Structure formats: C-alpha cells, structure tokens
Structure 1
Amino acid sequence: MLEAIEPRAEVLIVGDRQNQPTLRARLADRFAAEGLDLLSVAGPETALRRVAVHDPDVVIVRVSREGAATQALRQLRQHTSAPILALLGPDAREDERILVLDLGADDVLVEPVSALEIAAHSRALLRRGRILPAPTTYRYGPLEIDVAAREALLHDERIVLTHQEFNLLVFFASHPRQAFTRRELLEQAWEATREHNRGTVTEHVRRLRRKFDLAGEDGARWIATVHGVGYRFDPPR
C-alpha cells in the first residue's frame, strides 16, 4: 500500500440521500487505511455550509444526469478551492465528462470504479495541491494573483478557476516569458500520471485563454503559442 500523502487529510463526499450512505460505506475502510479522514454529506446545500466553515483537502461529488447535480458542482467550485473529483454513472457519455470538467471538476472517474482507484485519484489530487510556490502575490498589468487566497483578479473582477487551472496560471506567472513544452508543463504543473497526457495541457490552456477573453483580454496574447515548442506566459510589459 502506498503511504498517505498527509496524515488525516480530509476528504468530503457529496452525494444525494439515495447514494451517499452506500458511497461512504464503500470508501470508509480504504480511506481509513490511507490515513484520510472521510466526511460525507447528502446534498449541495449541506456541502456548501460545510465548506463555508472549513475547506476540505479534496471533494468527491457523485454527479448524476439531473440538472441539480451539475448545479451543485458549479456552486461548489465557486465556494471552495479544494480539488474536486467527480464520479459519473456507468452510462456517462464523453460530452458529460467534458461538461463536469468545464463546470469545475479537476478529475473524473466513471463507475464502476473500486475504492482503491478512488483513493489513488484522491491522493493524486492531494499531491497536485502541493506544487504551488510559497504564498505570494503576482501582478502583471490588470492581472493580480493572490496565491495564499487562491484568487485571481482581472480588471479587479474575480476569475473563476478550477483547482488545476489556478495551479497552471500560478506556474505561468512565476515563470514569465519562458517557453515550456507541453511535457514540461505536465511534469512541473501537474502530478503527471498515466491518466494525463499532453492533451490535458492543451485543454487547460484553452480554458484559461477563454476566461481571459471573457474578462476583456486577449487570452492567446497572454498565453502565447510558441510553434514547435509549446506555450509561454507573455504578460504586457
């Protein structure tokens, strides 16, 4: 068994009244063996009250096809900086997997999946949370990034970012005007695993650029494509 990343790290499970007890029972022994404290709540309102008091280290959300479930994911992303692992049903389509990532999930698993694999993905999310540099603030023109608060402002308006999007933006901001290959970004701004490849970087860069565009900036200008290499963070001088 792999050693737990951090003793007593806290994992919050969010389900509904039907699946929440079963999901907790499936994971309890495995997570206890990993040194992870497992908390569970039924429903998004209870989850939001919980994260308002104390942010967990990882959130696991069981997402069904009902609109309320995807709405819960969106609300959680807006109220917690913790990485989110979404669990989808066995008939989940590709577009549904993409949707939950766009709504703020940092990782997705499609059931049936074992407690062992869910725990492994939770550990990976914990590791990714440790790649950020020491708390500091970066300022580039209209962009301000507060690493300690895990908040990015563009023209004084908050940019809603997923956990991994924020990690990638901080990495870029800490290495301005340096070109990186997709493989280098994957190795340095992710905990690279077999579940992630260079396409993961491409998708996250696309999403970051789009959020800059929505805030009135040219995302492709800030995160420039270096042909034959990869990407470069290119803030205005």
Structure 2
Amino acid sequence: MRIALLEDEHEQAHNIQSILSERGHVCDTFANGQAFLGAVLHRSYDLMILDWQIPDMSGIDVLTNVRAQLNWPLPAIFLTQRDTEEDIVQALDAGADDYLAKPARAAELVARINALARRSNPESEQSLLRYGPFEVNTHQRSIVLHGEPLNLTDKDFDLTLFLFQNQGRLLTRDMLLERVWGLGRDINTRTVDTHMSRLRRRLGLNPENGFRIKTIYQRGYRLEAVKPSSTTELMTDTVANA
C-alpha cells in the first residue's frame, strides 16, 4: 500500500515509516498540513495516517479538507497523543476510520492498517464481480461483456481489475506502474498510456457500456461510471417496444 503520513516530529515520522517499510508499504511523510493536502489531493494513496497537533492546522482540519475535496473515501487513521473520549468522537465524526494513541505499537498499527484495507476493499475476497455489463472472474482471470468473453492479456486483466476496484479515484501513472507492473516510481515510460489506449478499445469503455477512462492532464487516469447517452436509451426503448 502507499500511505501518506502527517507527523511533524521527525523521530516519530522516521519510526513509523520504518515500521511500514519493513512490512512492504510505501510511506511518504509530511510535517505540515499544507504539504500533506497538496500530496493527498494530487497523488494516489491507499491510506492516510494523521497526527492531531501539527504546526499550521489541526489534523481535524486536514481531514475535513480531504473529505470535502477528494471524490472517493480515502481511509484515514488518527495516530495522536490526544486520547480522551471527546477527542476520539470528534475525529470519528470528522471522517476518521480508526484512532490510535501514541506511542504506536508496531504490530497493532500494522494490524489496524490491514484490517482497514480489507474493510475498504471487500471485493478483494470475492471471485465474481459485476460492474454494469462487465462480469469479472478473478479466479479464472477472465472478463465478459454482455455475455461475450473479452480477449485480454494478463496485464490487461490486472489493469482492468485495478481500474474497476478503484473507479472514481485518480490513479497516477506512478501508482499504476507500482501496483500493476511492479515497477518503481519515477520511471520514464509510456507503458501506462499505451495500455490505457488499448483498453479503451478492447473493453468498449464508452457511455453505451456505462464507463469511461478519463485522462487527467499530467496526473493520470480515472475510471468513471457514466449514464448511457439519450440516443442509446432511445434505441434501447425502441427495440424493447418493437
């Protein structure tokens, strides 16, 4: 997972980053709210960990801004020295998914992150997934559209599944390279763009099938659910009434 950590104490941030890195996660650390918001709103993260007391704004204000501006529910854990019942209730009411008091115990922090990841993506444990007219079989690694199997490569399947599981979410090229291809960040390659162009054609990602891949200039891609065009709806109604 790629995790964004808001923590202004250098030693604390380093310890948490080390704990997460040892478990295979990528953790970017930020010492103030503005830098954190700039990253979370313009990059792709799977989860965020927030301190409450930071120099330029409170962790609650940061979370409120993320919830107001991000168009998908990025999981959030508070990790802070404030541990009264009122504090916990305020954080949860502001949109936090979990709450831990400092100092963080490594095993518990990792377990909470893993549990939250499972809750935020329950589809990961299902073998047959449906997205409009698309039927995705994760065991057979196959995709059917309107009852017809699609001819996809293994990488096409991996990319398609990742797009469907993250529909509505901005996915940067770096994140796609990491999660689908297993490549490091900041690699200069057009692999992602080439595959996206091909998937648009092979999957029929258009309003008639209820989805489209939107290119976000200089940032990445987002799979969006869209309503069929009025022309398509009229044709469907005409056939149904014939």
TM-score (norm 2): 0.47
Specify which structure has the higher proportion of helix.
2
The structure number with the bigger radius of gyration is: 2
TM-score (norm 1): 0.48
| Larger RCO (CA under 8 A, 6+ residues apart) | 1
